[in-house]
Amino acid sequence: MPKPMPERQWDTRRAEKRRRQALGARIATGKVIPTADIVPFLETITAPGDRVVLEGNNQKQADFLSRALADADPARVHDLHMIIPSVSRVEHLDLFERGIARKLDFAYAGTQSVRISQFLEDGQLEVGAIHTYIELYARLYVDLTPQIVLVAGYKADRDGNLYTGASTEDTPALVEAAAFRDGIVIAQVNEIVDDATDLPRVDIPGSWIDYVVQSDKPFFCEPLFTRDPRLIKPVHILMAMMAIRGIYERHQVQSLNHGIGFNTAAIELILPTYGESLGLRGKICKYWTLNPHPTLIPAIESGWVESVHSFGSELGMEDYVAARPDIFFTGADGAMRSNRAFCQLAGQYAVDLFIGSTLQIDGDGHSSTVTRGRLSGFGGAPNMGHNPGGRRHATPAWLDLIETDDPLARGRKLVVQMVETFQAGGKPTFVESMDAVQVARDSGMPLAPVMIYGDDVTHVLTEEGIAYLYKARSLEERRAMIAAVASVTPIGMRHDPATTRRMRSDGLIALPEDLGVHRADATRSLLAAKSMADLVEWSGGLYAPPARFRSW
């Protein structure tokens, strides 16, 4: 029997944590860090080369902590490996500019996507990989276990018990990876209370949190999922009608995820009008995985919606959500509990349909939101926008996509790309080659940043019609079907009218008239709410839109 390694120490992580905590005790009182001392505290508690998870979520930002970390002395804190789900703040990249951080693993970059590209080009930043959210959380338990986790919540007590409020989002998945592997967890909160009985509820137990600090101002949170109905155009409504008739009704879609956008907002807003006229209430769109979209209020009030589980919160929806506990997941305190990890899981494995939009689609149906000079990342779409091979339960919609009589045939998740054939500014959505391919070449990425792969897409819906890609018997046929709904884009120009006629009669593609959708009916009069004020009225005054959305 071979001998074990001699004299190995098996608690180096724990010993290192204790060493740092002993230094931190000069600044913190118990678990509480004085607000004014956060920069020296972070300089004390971190070490060069640490893997640091920074809670930049889709909405909620641990911005007090990110600003403090960016203010640290690069002579003391440097070469950090940052793990940030959503890179959304200027200081996230200041960390790299100042030499405090060197490597970045992330899932999404909105406003910072141009700067990431530049930094990458200038060699100021090294990208580990760009992930879909849930894949990034998963790696925290395998090869990216963090030394430091920085998160945000509403309130905490002096023992570290954390109340996240409605914006729980990524926090539990991020914290657990450190709390149970001798990492150090620091939570910024808007308010510190004396003990747990002063908290509305506990979202994360105190024994998982090492330090709390009251932030200089409440954490930043962005209303990303609010769409003003005023900006919905007739073309959105036409496409929404096609979605309801040609996809939701046809396949009996009962559980679904809607992405952000005016297209899907239009679907939400015509359920109580157009959907009702088709007698579909109670038959489709019952179970939802999405943030509390204000444009979903009329459908909820009209009795369409059984339940909504959410990735994160939406500013202004707090009182409405709290008053609708039959629909939303809420705690005993009344506030919502969101959970991005579980909602991504639900959006992957438990819903019939994912529908989303994109910036570019190529002739094979691959799509990406990455354009030259912008490394925007993936967010949640790759996870929800693929056919999960591990799924084993059947639903009517899932089974409806089986096209063979093979006894081993499986159903499929519906993955719908809903796009206008041209983007604002006249840029074609359907392109010969996605910018993503060139971006990958330019930046030496091991693979092109494709958001959703063509073989995962089951339907392409444009203002021209629907291509039922899951019926394609070959790549050639898939290409022809895409071309048939791509209007006069470079891809659309390839289409052959005779082929299109045949595919139409074979049911491979459908134009609005094939679905009984009349273009003339696609007017804004179908919208259950035509303005933010209408949404407020539908909500009985419970919805309180952020100031920038108020025009009355």
Burial 396-408 (b: 16+ CB within 10 A, else e): ebbebbeeeeeee
Asked if residues 292 and 320 have their Cβ atoms less than 8 Å apart, the reply is: yes
User: Residue 143 or 476: which CB sits closer to a second copy?
Assistant: 143
What's the min distance (Å) between Cβ of 251 and a second copy? 15
Alpha helical stretches, state H, 71-144: 90-97, 113-121, 133-139
Q: How far is the CB of 391 from a second copy (least distance, A)?
A: 6
For the bound state, the minimum distance from the C-beta of residue 189 to a second copy, rounded and expressed in Å, comes to 16
Residue in the block written with tokens 């338990």:
141
Cβ closest to a second copy, residue 100 vs residue 179: 179
Q: Please count the CA atoms within 13 angstroms of the CA of 22 that sit on its side-chain side.
A: 6
Select 226 or 257, whichever has its Cβ closest to a second copy: 257
Core vs surface per residue 445-466: b (16+ CB within 10 A) or e = beebbbbbbbbbbbbbbbbbbb
Helices assigned H by DSSP within 356-474: 381-384, 396-400, 435-443
Torsion of CA 337, 339, 344, 346, to 10 degrees: -50
CA angle 136, 418, 169 (to 5 degrees): 30
**297 or 480: CB nearest a second copy:** 297
Cβ count within 10 A of residue 130: 23
Q: How far is the CB of 248 from a second copy (least distance, A)?
A: 16
Do 219 and 64 contact (CB within 8 A), yes or no? yes
Largest pairwise CA distance in the chain: 82
In the bound state with a second copy, the residue whose beta carbon lies nearer, of 231 and 498, is: 231
Alpha carbon 280 to chain centroid, angstroms: 28
CB of residue 206 to a second copy, shortest distance in Å: 7
Q: List, in order, residues 6 or more apart from 86 with CB less than 8 Å away.
A: 56, 57, 58, 106, 107, 108, 109, 110, 379
Residue placing its CB nearer to a second copy in the complex, 432 or 513: 432
CB neighbour list of residue 378: distance below 8 Å, 6 or more residues apart = 107, 108, 130, 131, 132, 449, 451
Rg (CA), the chain: 25
Measured from the CB atom, the residue of 192 and 503 that comes closer to a second copy is 192
Pair of tokens at residue 311: 């990735």
Residue closer to a second copy, measured from CB, 160 or 246: 160
Return the number of the residue (112 or 161) whose C-beta is nearest a second copy. Answer: 161
CB of 40 to a second copy, least distance (A): 25
- If the CB atoms of residues 134 and 509 are measured against a second copy, the closer one turns out to be 134
**365: phi then psi, degrees, rounded to nearest 5:** 100, 0
